[in-house]
A and B are shown apart, each in its own frame.
Chain A
């Protein structure tokens, strides 16, 4: 009887650990950000985006199980020059009024290499920009910070999941003035994503 109870307890705790967590990437601290760089022969454009939301679900101990959706509000794309910003948001370029969201649908994780609570992997999914979706695979670094949510300020206990990724997209692939003004606006857009999601503990 005692043996059965011990086995049951072990099985229950194993099942509890395997339960997937959902991390919410809407960050009230405003830390989550995307940096984009375009380095053309005549002009270099550096900007950021901060309006990040979305969720990622999975077992942080098994990164292969992670799926989710990260959304960037296109209107939060920012460059320091106001005229450049107006052009970037305008109909000719990103048309942010008609295409309000930039979305990454995270479908699968492969090539996982773990190092403690961190790991690198390749994430495959669908990247949607200016209403055009493309399947992409990007390298990511994922860090799981169990029990660190409260340390960021606030009253809730929980875990954090930090995702970082650097990848490059081609603007012509997303019909952003394809092949136009390449001397001033680079074809390749270097994207650096640094985001943290929170998973509050269920009480």
Chain B
């Protein structure tokens, strides 16, 4: 893993050297900003059990569906298309180092985006006069949840990007997979409500996990689930990158 720092730096540079990084950032901040505005407006109408940040975190899927494909589609697909993968892989670097650095770069970017939403917390704090409405514990675990789920979705995006030379195809593939993992699983949960299957589905549903996280519950099970999912996806992506060697 000696080469990861150099590779990571290159990833982050590439992201901000291209217009794409800024466009994605702009998209994210626009969606989150509008969402935040709507939430605050909603909460102003009357007393409720919900807190602003809890609703905010429950909207995590909205930017994920677009942001994850956008920041991962380029990663390996573009290297393959431009042929730079050959230069990378003929340097003394392992396949896994490359895949890992690409994933890490996207995770750093994703984290940075969400970190900007911490401004909302400051805004809430300022205008609520620092009352009990702002419980920092659940907010912290909420951010942990967003990161844990996000890094897994990004690993899926990396996997999608490893499978094609075409960025658009990679983006659509990871969109479909993220959609499957977040939306379809949740929908299945509704479909089998009360049945024997519902317990299983609920235990792997990102919405359920996020709900727990934003309540301040730090459960080890979803964390293990997402981390092992990431390990699996990065392992498969490494094999796909290495498939030029046995195909």
> Do chains A and B interact in one complex?
no
Interface, chain B (partner A; CB < 8 A)? none
Interface, chain A (partner B; CB < 8 A)? none
